[in-house]
Chain A
Amino acid sequence: MARVGVFVCFCGANIADYVDVPMVVEETKKIREVKFAIEYKYMCSDPGQQLIREAIVQHRLTSIVVAACSPRMHEKTFRKALSDAGMNPYLLEVANIREHSSWVHQKDKKAATEKAADLVRMAVAKSIANEQLFEISVPVTKRALVIGGGIAGIQAALDIADARIPVVLVEKSPSIGGKMAQLDETFPTLDCSQCILTPKMVDVASHPYIELIPYSEVIELEGFVGNYKARIKKKASYVNFATCTGCGACWQKCPVKVPNEYNMGIDKRKAIYTPFPQAVPNKPVIDAAYCTMLLKGKCGICAKVCQVGAIDFKMQEEIIEREIGAVVVATGYDLWDPKPYEEYGVGRFKDIITSLEFERMVSANGPTNGLPVRPSDGKIPKNVVFIKCIGSRDEAKGIEYCSKICCMYTTKHTILLHHKVHDSHAYVFYMDIRAAGKGYEEFVKKAQVDTAATYLRGRVSKIYKKEDKLIVRGEDSQIGQVVEVVADLVVLATAVIPPKDNPELARMLGISYDKYGYLSEAHPKLRPVETAKAGIFLAGCTQAPKDIPDTVAQASACAAKVCGLFAGDTMKKDPMISTVNTEFCSGCQNCVQVCPYGAIVTEEVPMGHGSKEMRTVARINEGVCQGCGSCVAVCRSMAISLAGFTDHQIINEIVSI
C-alpha cells in the first residue's frame, strides 16, 4: 500500500493570496493513500526541505508530492531532499499550483483552490504508480568539434584545447579568420583587427590539442551527446598541404585572374591562391572553377614552378570521420544584398558601396592601399554619405530585427574616413544610434566631435546622379525637412543575416533554427549557448547578430560548457526516457519518423522463442532520448513506454478527478 506525503507551499503570498492552502491540505487528507499532509510558507527553503526529510522517515512514506511552483524551478531541489532522506529521488511528483493555478486564476479564489486541490489529487494518483528510477551513465568521447573558423570558432577551439581537450576545427574556406580578418580596425578602441586576430590564428595552427581541417565541411553528424560521429568532406585543394611550404611561387606565376572574395571583388586574385597574406594555414588551394589546367587541361605552370611537387591535379575530395563528444557551431554570418533598394540605384550607380567594401578599401592591406576611392573614376571622395539600417529594421524589404553592429561600425567608418582623407566630410543618415556596450556611447560621442560628421535622423528616399556626383535625398526628421546631400560616395550599412546554409546545417545536426535562419538557443536567457540537442552549442553570429566582444564571450562560454560536459568519464542523464516492449512492437517505424532526436533505431529479434526467423523492432538509444514522448503518442500498440510518465501513471491522473 502506497504511503504518500503531501507538502503544500504558500510561496509567500504568491500562492496563498489566491489559493486557500489549508483547504487544499484538508482536501488532500481525504485521499486514502495520503498518510501525511502539511502546508509550509516556503517549501524550497531549508526548513521546508527538512520537513520533507523528517516526514519521509517518521511516516515511512513511499512517494512524495510537493504542491508548489513549476517543476522547472525546484524539482531538482526537492529530488535532492528525497535523496538526502534515503529515498529514490524519482518518487517525487510536483503539482504546479502556482503557474497553473494561483497566478492564472487571481480573480476567483474558490475556483483556484478547487483547481489546486485537483492538481494535487492528480499528482498523488500519479505518484502512487511512480517507480524507482536510476540515473543513466553514458560514456563520453572527450573530443570537441568546432564548425567554423571565424573568431568565434577560433576562441572556442583555443579555450577548449587549453583545457587539454582535443579539438577538431573545421573551416570551409582555405583559411581560418572569418569576417574579422577582413576588418581594418575594431570599435570602440580602434585596435587593428588583424593584429589582434592573427596571433590567435597562429595559436590554432600550432596548438598540440587542435586538429585544423581547412577547406572542409561537416556533412553528417550521427550519434548522441558524448558519442557523436562526424563525417567531414575535405574538398579537393589540388595542393598537398603536407609537402607545400607556402613559398608563393605558384600564385605569383599563375596566369588566371579571378575576382578576390577577400577584398569584396574590388581587385583580383589568382586561380591558385591563399585568401590573404596572413592565412592560416598558409597553403594555397586551386579554385577548380577557374583553373585552366583543371577546366581545359592546359597550363600547369604552378606545378612546374613548385619546388616540392606539392601540386596534384588528380586530387579528389575525401570523406574523413572523427569521433567526438560535443559540437560548437560557429558558422558566422553573411551580409544582406541591398539589391531591393532600387530607389537608391543600387547596382546602377557604381559609387554606392557596402560597408564591408568600404572596410576593405580603408584597410592597410586592402586593394586600394588603404584609401577610400570612388569605384567609378578612382578619385578620392570628399563627401561621403553613410546610410544605416539597410535591410535591418525594414519589414518591407529586409528583415525586422536590428543588426546590432551597424551603428558602431558606421561610427568607426566616419573616423577611418576622417583619418584617411583629412578634408573629407561624413554624413550619416540614421534611425536611432544604438550604442549600448562598454565604451560605445563614449566612442560615438567622441567620433561625432572629432570628425564633425553631420548626423541626419531620417530615412533616405532616393539617390540620383547629377554629373559625377550622387544626390542623396532624405528626410531630416529633427528639423522636419527634406534634405539633399551631394555625395562623392555612398556607403550602405547592410544588415547582418545568417549564412544561407544554416537551415540545412541545422537539419543535419538535428537542432532548430528561427524564421530568419539563425540557430536557436535552448533558452533565450538562461541557456543562451546550448541548443535543444544535448552536446551541441552555439557561438557567435550564427545564433544572432553580435559584435566581437560578445562573440568571444559566447565562444568562451561554449568552451566552459564543453569542459563541463567532459569533466567526468561518463555523463549522468535523467532516466525519464522511452523504452520499447519488443514483444508488442510490430516494426512499423512510425516512432523512427517522429523522433526529433534521431534516438530510435531498428534491430532484428527472433520471431518467437527460439525461432530462427527474424523480425524488425524499434530500439531506443538511451543516450540520445530526451524523453519528449512523441514516440509514445504515435505507437498504436502501446509498445513504447516513457519512464516517469507511463500510461498507468497518466490514466491514474485522469481517473483521479
Chain B
Amino acid sequence: MDYTKQIREIATKLFTEEKIDVFVGYRTTGFDENQVPVIITGLEEIPKLIFNDKSVFNLTNYLKQEHTRNKRVGLIVKGCDSRSLNLLLTENQVKREKLFVIGIACEGVCDDEGNKMQHCTECMFPDAVVFDEMVGTTHDARLYQVNADVRELASKSLVERREYFETVFESCIRCNACRHSCPLCYCAKCVIDQETSTLYHGANTTSSAFHALMTWSLHLAGRCVDCRNCESACPMNLPLHLLHKQNESVIYENFQEHMAGVVEGDRGAFYKYSMKDPDDFIM
C-alpha cells in the first residue's frame, strides 16, 4: 500500500485551488522508516507528504489542536480514523464544511518489524466511512472478530480480571500520553484532573492509575474505534487495547451489534436508548 503519489496530487490541487489552509498528513522521521504526523501550510511543503503501510497514527487527533482549529483542513483518514472523525462530527467538535477528507481504502498498517498490525488483521471497516475523495480499492463487507487475547481475558473471572489489570497497570507512570493521543479525549478539563476526583489522585500509585485507566476506558466505551494511538503512545507498552476491545465486544453483543462511529449522528450505545437494549439486569 503506497498512496504517496495520489496524496501529493490531491494536496497540490487543494492548495492550488485554495480550498484548504493546512493539510494534515504523514512524513518520515528522517532517521528510520517510521513516520510522524505533519501539518503543512503550503505547496512548498508537499514533498514532505508520504503515505504507505507505515502511516500508523490516527490524524483526527490533530483536529483538536490550535494549528487546525477554525482553519480549512485537508486530512487523510483510514477506516478506523474515519470512524473517530464521525464521532468528532457527531459530538460537535469539528465542522464538516471546514474539512476536506481523503479517505483511504486501507490494506492495514505495519509495526516496527514490518508485520501487519494485529488489529488490522481483524479490522471490520478498513475503508473510510466518511470522505470527500477515496484512494485505493474498497473492500467487501467483513465479519466482526474478537482477537484471541481479548477472548482469553473475557473467559477469566471478575476477580482474576481485576487482578490482571491491577498488575499490568502497576507500571503506569500517569504520563497521560494515552489520553493526549486519543482523538476522542477532547474534554475541556478531564475528570481525572479535577480536584473533586479524589479517586484519581495520589501521584502515580497503582490504585490511582487503575481507577484513572478504568474511568478512561468507560468514557471511551462504545466510542473507541480501535485505532490504537494510545498503545503507540504509551511509553510503558501497556496493553490498553484489552480494555477497549473488551468493552467493544460486550457492547457489540448486547447493543444490537453497535460499532462506534460507523454512522454519522450515532453517539454510541451509552448515549441513546433503544427498546432492544438489554434489561435483564433489572429485577
User: A interface vs B, CB < 8 Å?
Assistant: 583-590, 593-594, 613, 616, 634, 636-639, 647-648, 651
Q: Out of B189, B198, B219, name the residue touching A584 (CB < 8 Å).
A: B189
Report A-chain residues with C-beta under 8 Å of the C-beta of B196. Answer: 638, 647-648, 651
Q: How many A-B contacts are there with CB distance less than 8 Å? A: 49
**Interface residue tally for chain B (C-beta within 8 Å):** 20
CA distance A386 to B93 in the complex (A): 65
CA distance A588 to B87 in the complex (A): 10
Interface: B91 (CB within 8 A): yes
Are A637 and B270 interface neighbours, CB within 8 A? Answer: no
CA distance A589 to B87 in the complex (A): 12
Interface: B31 (CB within 8 A): no
- For residue A654, give the distance in angstroms from its CB to the closest CB of chain B: 10
- For residue A222, give the distance in angstroms from its CB to the closest CB of chain B: 21
CA distance A561 to B273 in the complex (A): 32
Restricting to B175-218, which residues have a CB under 8 Å from any CB of A? 186-191, 194, 196-198
CA distance A634 to B271 in the complex (A): 7
CA distance A638 to B198 in the complex (A): 13
CA distance A637 to B270 in the complex (A): 15
* Given contact pairs A594-B272, A636-B219, a sample of 7 additional A-B residue pairs in the complex whose CB atoms are under 8 Å apart: A586-B186, A588-B91, A593-B267, A593-B271, A613-B70, A637-B191, A651-B198
10 A-B pairs within 8 Å (CB atoms) are namely A584-B187, A584-B188, A584-B194, A587-B92, A588-B91, A590-B267, A594-B271, A594-B273, A637-B190, A637-B191
Report A-chain residues with C-beta under 8 Å of the C-beta of B70. Answer: 613
- For residue A4, give the distance in angstroms from its CB to the closest CB of chain B: 21
Q: Which residue of A lies closest to B218 (CB)?
A: A636
CA distance A446 to B194 in the complex (A): 77
Report A-chain residues with C-beta under 8 Å of the C-beta of B194. Answer: 584, 637-638
CA distance A593 to B189 in the complex (A): 21
Q: Which residue of B lies closest to A648 (CB)?
A: B196
CA distance A558 to B270 in the complex (A): 37
CA distance A638 to B196 in the complex (A): 10
Report B-chain residues with C-beta under 8 Å of the C-beta of A639. Answer: 188
Q: Which residue of A lies closest to B273 (CB)?
A: A594
- For residue A259, give the distance in angstroms from its CB to the closest CB of chain B: 38
Q: Which residue of B lies closest to A615 (CB)?
A: B188
Are A589 and B187 interface neighbours, CB within 8 A? Answer: no
Contact with A along B154-169 (1 / 0, CB 8 A): 0000000000000000
CA distance A642 to B197 in the complex (A): 16
CA distance A84 to B210 in the complex (A): 48
Report B-chain residues with C-beta under 8 Å of the C-beta of A587. Answer: 92-93
CA distance A634 to B196 in the complex (A): 17
Report A-chain residues with C-beta under 8 Å of the C-beta of B198. Answer: 651
Q: Known: A647-B196, A651-B198. Is A586-B271 also a contact (CB below 8 A)?
A: no
Q: Known: A613-B70, A634-B270, A636-B219. Is A590-B91 also a contact (CB below 8 A)?
A: yes
CA distance A474 to B198 in the complex (A): 74
Report A-chain residues with C-beta under 8 Å of the C-beta of B191. Answer: 636-638
Are B188 and A637 interface neighbours, CB within 8 A? Answer: yes
Report A-chain residues with C-beta under 8 Å of the C-beta of B92. Answer: 587-589, 616
Report A-chain residues with C-beta under 8 Å of the C-beta of B188. Answer: 583-586, 637, 639
- For residue B5, give the distance in angstroms from its CB to the closest CB of chain A: 38
Contact with A along B114-134 (1 / 0, CB 8 A): 000000000000000000000
Report A-chain residues with C-beta under 8 Å of the C-beta of B91. Answer: 588-590
Q: Out of B189, B219, B267, name the residue touching A583 (CB < 8 Å).
A: B189
Report A-chain residues with C-beta under 8 Å of the C-beta of B267. Answer: 590, 593
Q: Which residue of B lies closest to A617 (CB)?
A: B188
Report B-chain residues with C-beta under 8 Å of the C-beta of A651. Answer: 196, 198
Q: Known: A587-B92, A637-B191, A638-B196. Is A593-B186 also a contact (CB below 8 A)?
A: no
- For residue B176, give the distance in angstroms from its CB to the closest CB of chain A: 15
- For residue B95, give the distance in angstroms from its CB to the closest CB of chain A: 11
Report A-chain residues with C-beta under 8 Å of the C-beta of B187. Answer: 584, 586, 636-637
CA distance A399 to B197 in the complex (A): 52
- For residue A467, give the distance in angstroms from its CB to the closest CB of chain B: 51
Q: Out of A588, A594, A637, A648, name the residue touching B93 (CB < 8 Å).
A: A588
CA distance A303 to B188 in the complex (A): 66
CA distance A584 to B190 in the complex (A): 8
Are A586 and B270 interface neighbours, CB within 8 A? Answer: no
Report A-chain residues with C-beta under 8 Å of the C-beta of B272. Answer: 593-594
Restricting to B263-283, which residues have a CB under 8 Å from any CB of A? 267, 270-273
CA distance A240 to B197 in the complex (A): 66
Q: Which residue of B lies closest to A590 (CB)?
A: B271
CA distance A171 to B269 in the complex (A): 40
Report A-chain residues with C-beta under 8 Å of the C-beta of B186. Answer: 586
Q: 6 nearest interchain CB pairs?
A: A637-B187, A588-B91, A636-B219, A586-B188, A584-B189, A590-B271
CA distance A636 to B215 in the complex (A): 9
Q: Which residue of A lies closest to B215 (CB)?
A: A636
- For residue B258, give the distance in angstroms from its CB to the closest CB of chain A: 15
Could you say which of A583, A585, A587, A637 has the most chain B C-beta atoms within 10 Å of its C-beta?
A637
- For residue B52, give the distance in angstroms from its CB to the closest CB of chain A: 34
CA distance A230 to B191 in the complex (A): 40
Contact with A along B83-122 (1 / 0, CB 8 A): 0000000011100000000000000000000000000000
Could you say which of B188, B198, B219, B270 has the most chain A C-beta atoms within 10 Å of its C-beta?
B188
CA distance A37 to B221 in the complex (A): 45
CA distance A295 to B198 in the complex (A): 72
- For residue B237, give the distance in angstroms from its CB to the closest CB of chain A: 26
- For residue A388, give the distance in angstroms from its CB to the closest CB of chain B: 34
Q: Which residue of A lies closest to B188 (CB)?
A: A586
Q: Which residue of B lies closest to A587 (CB)?
A: B92
CA distance A396 to B189 in the complex (A): 56
CA distance A593 to B188 in the complex (A): 19
- For residue A513, give the distance in angstroms from its CB to the closest CB of chain B: 13
CA distance A648 to B198 in the complex (A): 10
Report B-chain residues with C-beta under 8 Å of the C-beta of A648. Answer: 196
- For residue A617, give the distance in angstroms from its CB to the closest CB of chain B: 9
